[in-house]
């Protein structure tokens, strides 16, 4: 399913503010127009009642005198006298079912009926679909009902004008609200600019480009934004300093690795070379004799094989190689060879206790580097004549590898820090940081048992990889 398009926060927030400004402006204006319309309706009702007051006053003398002709004449005079409100029909209905006296405008159909509500309700008003309004009430004098006075007033001009005003106001309101919304959008964008700037730099930093915000880009009229940007720049400078320290540490690690490589190669090559020099001397002296010649050549072949093995084992550990391969028993023999020089110089031996298949599906190069660091540290922590033990076994789908020495032990705080996967603040060499990083990459765990003055056992628990997890 395609991922829905989501606008960034830097756009969503100003758009939301603009939409709220637009909606509030339009809604408030329309509410005001609606209230004005209702007020107009009330004024029209009051105007109708006022009109009936005047009409009733002109009709009452004729009604009391029973003069129907005078009543009709008064209705005709009222119809003829038109100002702002035009009458369509004027009606007087005598009480008790008497005759209906009515005056119509010429454009009003003669067969247009009277509304039934006029006879059913003493007083009332309602609008017709044609824009006119009926108003009526009883004509009462001295407590006696003489009939009903009704008027059909033409208010279409009034309401059509009001409708035009309403639509004009709506158009103006929409235009003005739109301008306010656009202005609000850009104002919020401007207010949001420092946050957006910091967010953009953080995104660039996640991609590896860490840059501070220049002084010309720091707002001077917003103290809070200025503090935020200064804090970001301080973080950038701290990251730069950290990178410099890490680069320095990496350089030290490379120098240490190179020194270890040279020391290992020099020591391991010296012994075979001594024997090979003896074999060459034998060939020079007894080269014409078959047996001494054969023995010397075989010795030279073994010496060359030993040199090749030393070089291969050393390069296998120190040279970066992209290919993945499983851990084999031969890797443990290589580790024995690589620490042999340090062991002999301190009279420390290495005992291997291996109960694993050949091979084990864990990354050989990473495990070799971890174990080499642990073994060298164990040898250097041991005393003259001590034995360092390296054991390995499988526990279901986990490879358990232990390195045990009888040295001075590890500080408890440092042991807890290593078990927790963090580099100790003090007292730890670069090899410890390498071990922690590689174990974390292998999704493994480290446990340490250390008794000061008695010895230390470091156990690695490394998950065996399934076929699906192995690199192609």
Contact yes or no for 410/427 (Cβ under 8 A)? no
Q: Topology of 323-472 in CATH?
A: Heat Shock Protein 90 (3.30.565)
Q: Of the candidates 378, 408, 391, 361, which has an alpha carbon nearest to the alpha carbon of residue 460?
A: 391
Q: Give the span between the Cα atoms of 146 and 144, in whole angstroms.
A: 6
Q: Comparing 9-166 with 323-472, is the CATH topology the same?
A: no
Contact criterion met (CB below 8 Å) for 379 and 388: yes
Average pLDDT over residues 324-337: 80
CATH code of 9-166, in short, is 3.30.450.20
Secondary structure (DSSP) of 380-408? HHSPTT-EEEEEEEEETTEEEEEEEE-SS
How much of the chain exceeds pLDDT 90, in percent?
Answer: 0
Q: Please report the pLDDT score of residue 114 as a whole number.
A: 80
What does DSSP say about strands 387-395 and 349-355: parallel, antiparallel, or unpaired?
A: parallel
Local confidence band at 408 (pLDDT 50, 70, 90 cut-offs): confident
Q: What's the confidence (pLDDT) of residue 305?
A: 67
Task: Name the pLDDT band for 159 (thresholds 50, 70, 90).
Answer: low
Around Cβ 50, how many Cβ atoms within 10 Å? 12
**Residues 113, 119, 123, 126, CA torsion sign:** negative
Check residue 171 and give its pLDDT. 82
DSSP tag of 462: E
Give the pLDDT mean for 350-369: 85
> Quick one: pLDDT at residue 286?
81
Report the pLDDT value the prediction gives residue 425, as an integer from 0 to 100: 58
Half-sphere exposure of 379 (CA within 13 A, CB side): 23
Who contacts 400 (Cβ-Cβ below 8 Å, separation ≥6)?
A: 392, 393, 394, 459, 460, 461
- Tell which residue, 330, 351, 329, has the closest CA to residue 340: 351
Tokens of 26: 């339009």
Angle made by CA atoms 41, 79, 74, in degrees to the nearest 5? 115
Average pLDDT over residues 430-454: 78
The tokens describing 147, both together, are 């009939």
Q: For tokens 């020591």, what's the residue?
A: 267
Question: 391 pairs with which residues across the strands?
Answer: 353, 402
* Burial of 221 from C-beta contacts in 10 A (0-12 / 13-18 / 19+): exposed
CA distance 338 to 335: 5
Kindly indicate the confidence band of residue 274, based on its pLDDT and cuts at 50, 70 and 90. low
* pLDDT in the model for residue 1: 44
State whether residue 141 is helix, strand or coil: strand
Does residue 272 carry a pLDDT above 70? no
Determine what percent of the chain is predicted with pLDDT higher than 70.
83
List, in sequence order, the alpha helices (H) in 220-356: 223-286, 290-318, 329-346
CB atoms within 10 A of CB 34: 11
On the question of pLDDT at 206 being above 50, the answer is: yes
The position carrying tokens 């006879």 is 119
pLDDT confidence band for 85 (50 / 70 / 90): low
Whole-angstrom Cα distance, residue 230 to residue 220? Answer: 12
What is the separation, in whole angstroms, between the first and last Cα of the chain?
29
Would you state the pLDDT for residue 293? 80
Residue 175's H or E segment, with its range, is helix 156-206
pLDDT of residue 115: 82
Whole-number Å distance between alpha carbons of 355 and 390? 11
CA-closest candidate to residue 219, choices 234, 204, 230, 209: 230
Task: Retrieve residue 114's tokens.
Answer: 């009277």
Q: Are 86 and 51 in contact (CB under 8 A)?
A: no
What distance in Å separates the CA atoms of residue 307 and residue 335, rounded to the nearest whole number?
Answer: 15
Residue extents of the structural domains in the chain:
9-166, 212-319, 323-472
295-320 mean pLDDT: 66
Where are the strands (E) in 39-131, listed by range? 86-94, 100-104, 123-127
Strands 398-405 and 455-463: antiparallel
pLDDT band at 255, cuts 50/70/90?
confident
2-52 pLDDT tens trace? 455 667 666 777 778 778 888 887 788 778 777 877 887 787 778 778 888
Which one has a higher pLDDT value, 405 or 164? 405
CA 195 vs CA 10, 211, 294, 410: distances in Å:
9, 15, 82, 47
* pLDDT-derived band at 319, boundaries 50, 70, 90: low
- If you average pLDDT over residues 207-234, what whole number do you get? 80
Read off the pLDDT of residues 104-157 as tens digits, 9 standing for 90 and up: 888 777 778 888 787 778 888 888 777 788 888 888 888 888 888 888 887 776
Residue 361 has pLDDT above 50, yes or no: yes
Average pLDDT of the segment spanning 368-380: 83
pTM score: 0.38
Which one has a higher pLDDT value, 148 or 434? 148
Task: Quote the CA–CA distance of 155 and 175 in Å, as a whole number.
Answer: 30
Q: How confident is the model at residue 423 (pLDDT cuts 50, 70, 90)?
A: low
Pairwise CA distance, residues 13 & 1, whole Å: 27
Give me the chain's average pLDDT, please.
78
At residue 420 the predicted structure's pLDDT band, cuts being 50, 70 and 90, is: confident
Higher confidence at residue 366 or residue 467?
Answer: 366
pLDDT for position 445: 86
């Amino acid at each position: 399913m395609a991922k829905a398009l989501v606008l960034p926060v830097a756009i969503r927030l100003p758009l939301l503010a603009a939409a709220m400004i637009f909606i509030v402006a339009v809604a408030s204006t329309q509410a005001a127009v609606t209230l004005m319309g209702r007020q107009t309706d009330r004024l029209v009702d009051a105007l109708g009642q006022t009109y009936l007051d005047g009409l009733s006053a002109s009709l009452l003398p004729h009604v009391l005198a029973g003069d129907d002709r005078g009543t009709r004449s008064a209705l005709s005079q009222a119809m003829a006298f038109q100002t702002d409100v035009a009458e369509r029909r004027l009606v007087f209905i005598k009480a008790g079912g008497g005759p209906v006296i009515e005056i119509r405008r010429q454009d009003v159909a003669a067969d247009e009926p009277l509304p039934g509500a006029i006879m059913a309700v003493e007083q009332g008003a309602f609008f017709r679909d044609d824009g006119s309004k009926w108003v009526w009430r009883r004509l009462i004098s001295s407590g006696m009902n003489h009939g009903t006075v009704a008027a059909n007033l033409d208010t279409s001009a009034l309401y059509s004008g009001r409708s035009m005003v309403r639509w004009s106001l709506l158009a103006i309101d929409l235009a003005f609200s739109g301008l306010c919304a656009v202005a609000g959008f850009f104002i919020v964008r401007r207010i949001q600019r420092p946050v957006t700037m910091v967010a953009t730099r953080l995104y660039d930093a996640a991609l590896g480009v860490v840059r501070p915000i220049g002084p010309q880009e720091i707002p001077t009229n917003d103290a809070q934004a200025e503090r935020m940007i200064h804090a970001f720049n301080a973080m950038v400078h701290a990251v730069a300093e950290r990178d410099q320290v890490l680069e320095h540490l990496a350089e030290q690690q490379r120098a240490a690795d190179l020194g270890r490589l040279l020391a290992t190669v020099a020591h391991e090559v010296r012994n075979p070379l001594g024997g090979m020099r003896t074999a060459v001397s034998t060939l020079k002296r007894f080269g014409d004799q078959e047996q001494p010649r054969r023995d010397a050549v075989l010795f030279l072949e073994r010496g060359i094989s030993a040199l090749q093995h030393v070089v291969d084992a050393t390069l296998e550990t120190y040279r970066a190689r992209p290919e993945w391969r499983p851990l084999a028993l031969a890797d443990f023999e290589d580790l024995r060879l690589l620490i042999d020089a340090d062991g002999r110089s301190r009279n420390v031996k290495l005992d291997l206790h291996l109960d694993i298949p050949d091979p084990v599906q864990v990354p050989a190069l990473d495990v070799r580097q971890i174990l080499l660091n642990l073994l060298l540290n164990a040898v250097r922590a041991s005393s003259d004549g001590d034995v360092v033990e390296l054991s390995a076994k499988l526990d279901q789908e986990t490879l358990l590898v232990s390195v045990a020495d009888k040295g001075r032990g590890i500080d408890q705080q440092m042991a807890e820090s290593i078990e927790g996967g963090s580099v100790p603040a003090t007292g730890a060499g670069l090899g410890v940081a390498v071990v922690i990083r590689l174990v974390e990459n292998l999704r493994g765990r480290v446990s340490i048992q250390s008794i000061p003055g008695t010895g230390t056992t470091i156990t690695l628990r490394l998950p065996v990889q399934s076929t699906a997890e192995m690199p192609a």
